[in-house]
Amino acid sequence: MRILTIGGKDYNVEFSFEAAEYKDCVDSIFKVISGSYIMKNGPTDENEKISVATAILNGTSDMVSDIPKIAVTALYAGLLENNPVENEQAAKALFKQFVKEKPDDERASFWGMYDFLRDCMEEDGFFKLTGMDKVIAQMSEAAEEQKSKSGKIPQDHKRKSTSTK
């Protein structure tokens, strides 16, 4: 649990049961930490050609453009346990007030607030409580297994070496 002081009032931000039950928060955070943004921009079938660099660029662009919404959603979820606010709009108003009061604070940006909240999630055991940690570990294992199953990359496009010795 961490504390945000806004308008002279301390808000306890905690990612426990209430936050874990807030589907929009779990969904949006999972998409960021699992790499789903990149995967959704990758090829959809074997015949589609899209470069890895293009998929990464497009996915990262989508993620960065969603961070303002994700930060507000996560802030709302983090407030639910100890000092709930009416809705995400109220959480957004608090964040806006925070930015105006503390413009030099590293959390006074959407990305900065997202980082702060993600660290709070980690400390509070949010990823374990929701099961995200296990799902992401399983996804990583499956990806590694798929990578090792794919075997060697065909080398038939390379020129045969000829020895001059």
Summarised one tens digit per residue, pLDDT across range 69-105 is: 999 999 999 999 999 999 999 999 999 999 999 999 9
Tell me whether residue 1 is in a domain: no
Q: Determine the average pLDDT of the residues in 9-36.
A: 95
Q: Kindly state whether residue 109 falls inside one of the protein's structural domains.
A: yes
Asked, for residue 92, whether it belongs to a domain, the answer is yes
**Domain range holding 110?**
28-136
What's the CA gap between 69 and 91, in Å, rounded? 11
Give residue 32's pLDDT.
92
- Whether 72 is in a domain gets the answer yes
**Token pair of 89, please?**
């709009």
In a domain, 149, yes or no: no
pLDDT value, residue 136: 87
Mean residue pLDDT across the chain: 87
Q: Is residue 164 part of a domain?
A: no
CA-CA distances (angstroms) from residue 158 to 85, 117, 148, 151, 155?
63, 49, 22, 17, 6
What's the domain count of the chain?
1
Residue 135: its pLDDT value, please? 92
For the entire predicted model, the pTM comes to 0.81
Question: In the prediction, which pLDDT does 89 show?
Answer: 98
Alpha-carbon distance of 111 to 117, in angstroms, equals: 10
Residue 51: the pLDDT is 72
Judge whether residue 153 has pLDDT over 90: no
- pLDDT (0 to 100) of residue 144: 78
Q: Is residue 10 part of a domain?
A: no
What's the rounded mean pLDDT across residues 105-125?
98
> Which pLDDT score, from 0 to 100, does residue 37 have?
76
Residue 5 forms part of a structural domain: no
